[in-house]
Amino acid sequence: MIETLSYDVAIIGGGAAGLFAAKETAAAGCSTLVIDREKRTGGILNQCIHPGFGLHCFKRELTGPEFAAEADTLARNAGADFRLDTTVREIRRMEDGSFQLDLASGEYGISTLNAKTVILTAGCRERNRGNLAIPGKRPAGVWTAGAAQKLMNIDGLLPGKQAVIVGSGDIGLIMARRLTWSGVKVLAVIEILPHPSGLIRNIAQCLEDFNIPLYLSHSVVDIRGSEHVSGISVAPLVNGVPDMEKQIHFDCDTVLFSVGLIPSNELIVPLGAAIDPATNGAIVDSNGETTVPGLFSAGNVRHVHDLVDFVAEEAAETGRAVVRKLRGEMAKPEFNAHKNAALRYVIPSRFAAGENTHFRFRPVISAERCELTALCNGEVIKRWTEHFVNPAEMIQVQLETPAADVTFELNEVKK
């Protein structure tokens, strides 16, 4: 017989976002079930053994596993229930606006979950070599940065002896340091963009401190090796095209890719949730609600964040909005947020009037000093000064929202 469960809130994903959302909904008295396909909560945090987590949420520096354990305790103490080692196979929206989820688990078997609301906190998966169509054979020794991190930090194994990292995302930068500490020679980090993709502090602490060269505006043109990687060739880009006459060859046995993350939205697209092409996450309003009523999204599955603390804070906001939804107290967003060309996206895209709304942006420009303005009907209603703006770092502001559309403009302030 198939077990049937009923909850006010179903949370898909037991990482930082899922745990902080659960803390809020369960503490408010809403029956909450957190579902995760792993056997323990925490997600990617469990393999991030370096410090640097928790300064915003817990006011002290933690490692990834420590942050995960603290967040798990908060959610459990608030009264959340858990179904771990469990996969959500499908979500259906019922005629009454509720949701039905099909669950499969090695421990619990097949079950059906009825939920009044759903929060998707499933995070991201890594973009890999196949997504990039990089030429060359398919030898062993090619990893995503996250897979190599798990191999080292969870399994206690080294991927090789000499490595090149493709992409300057934060996981790749952190792995450059981790590999070096473990005796693996990191020959170079290759970045196709003219600027680093990771945080400035990680460039300094993970590359510059270890004299690891960073090649900007370079592209991989070949991965050599038959059975196993023997080397990699890169070339500088000229007008977006590799200059093959200026190729650089590295002899290595390991190649790590840190070339971006893809939000895991596969479960909600069939429900009709609209996806933002700028983030590859669901379009959400100021409550974190998607275009499907009752379906919410939070954390890296909504848009890729800089810090796990930001993920947790956003998810807690969403959890509180879900509580208001269930109580019939959630304000209806009626106004739109727009942006200028210097911003890749603005989240949320819709908001309600008279609320202290948290807006998040990703710039497309680099500048030492910028001014961010919020305009309503052509009039500036608030200004913020932003220092050291670059595409790798998210901008966050709060605004008491008017009863009208708002346009955000980011402009460089010249000296």
Query: In the listed set 315, 330, 345, which residue is the last one of a domain according to the structure?
Result: 330
What CA–CA distance (Å, rounded) separates 50 from 176? 13
Q: Which of 230, 259, 288 is at the close of a domain?
A: 259
pLDDT for position 199: 87
Contact 139, 133 (CB under 8 A): no
Q: Is 72 exposed, middle or buried (0-12, 13-18, 19+ CB in 10 A)?
A: buried
pLDDT score, position 243: 95
Residue that has been written with the tokens 């819709």 in this structure: 350
Please tell me whether residues 306 and 358 are part of one structural domain. no
How many domains would you assign to the chain?
Answer: 3
Do 73 and 111 belong together in one domain?
A: yes
How high is the pLDDT of residue 107?
87
Mean pLDDT of 284-289: 98
Residues 330-338, mean pLDDT to the nearest whole number: 95
Query: How big is the chain by its Cα radius of gyration, in Å?
Result: 22
pLDDT reading at 48 higher than 90:
yes
DSSP track, 333-363: P-EEEEE-TTEEEEE-SEE-TTSEEEEEEEE
CA 402, 370, 279, 149 torsion: positive or negative?
Answer: negative
Residues 6+ apart with CB under 8 A from 77: none
Q: What are phi and psi of 43, to 5 degrees?
A: 60, -135
| Domain termination site, one of 330, 347, 372 | 330
pLDDT band at 1 (very low <50, low <70, confident <90, very high): low
Q: What is the pLDDT of residue 130?
A: 63
Confidence of residue 247 (pLDDT cuts 50, 70, 90): very high
> pLDDT band at 218, cuts 50/70/90?
very high
Please indicate, yes or no, whether residues 135 and 244 belong to a single structural domain of this protein: yes
End-to-end CA distance of the chain: 71
Q: What's the domain range around 4?
A: 1-125+260-330
Average pLDDT over residues 198-221: 94
* Neighbour count for residue 139 (Cβ, 10 Å): 16
Q: Look at residue 127 in the predicted model and tell me its pLDDT.
A: 82
Reported in sequence order, the residue ranges of 225-355 that DSSP labels E, i.e. its strands, are 231-238, 241-242, 248-251, 254-257, 261-263, 295-297, 335-339, 343-347, 350-351
Residues 308 and 375 in one domain: no
Phi, psi of 16, rounded to the nearest 5 degrees: -55, -45
Q: What is the mean pLDDT of residues 299-318?
A: 96
* Domain of residue 348, CATH code: 2.60.40
Q: In whole angstroms, what is the distance from residue 9 CA to residue 28 CA?
A: 11
Predicted pLDDT of residue 260: 84
d(CA 229, CA 139): 5
289 and 238 in a common domain = no
Local confidence band at 138 (pLDDT 50, 70, 90 cut-offs): confident
pLDDT at residue 34 in the model: 98
Q: Please check whether residues 53 and 165 belong to one and the same domain.
A: no
Residue range 357-376, pLDDT digits in tens: 999 999 999 999 999 999 99
**Taking residues 79-100, what's their average pLDDT?**
97
The mean per-residue pLDDT over the stretch 275-285 comes to: 96
| Contacts for 399 with CB less than 8 Å, ≥ 6 apart | 356, 357, 359, 374, 381, 382, 406
Q: What was the pLDDT predicted at 175?
A: 95
Q: Are 113 and 10 in contact (CB under 8 A)?
A: yes
Pair (138, 254) in one structural domain: yes
Residue with tokens 């710039």: 363
d(Cα 283, Cα 303) in Å, to the nearest integer?
A: 10
Average pLDDT, the chain: 95
Query: Given a cut of 70, is residue 235 above it in pLDDT?
Result: yes
Q: What is the pLDDT of residue 226?
A: 87
pLDDT at 208: 96
185 and 210 fall within a common domain: yes
What is the rounded CA–CA span in Å between residue 193 and residue 18?
32
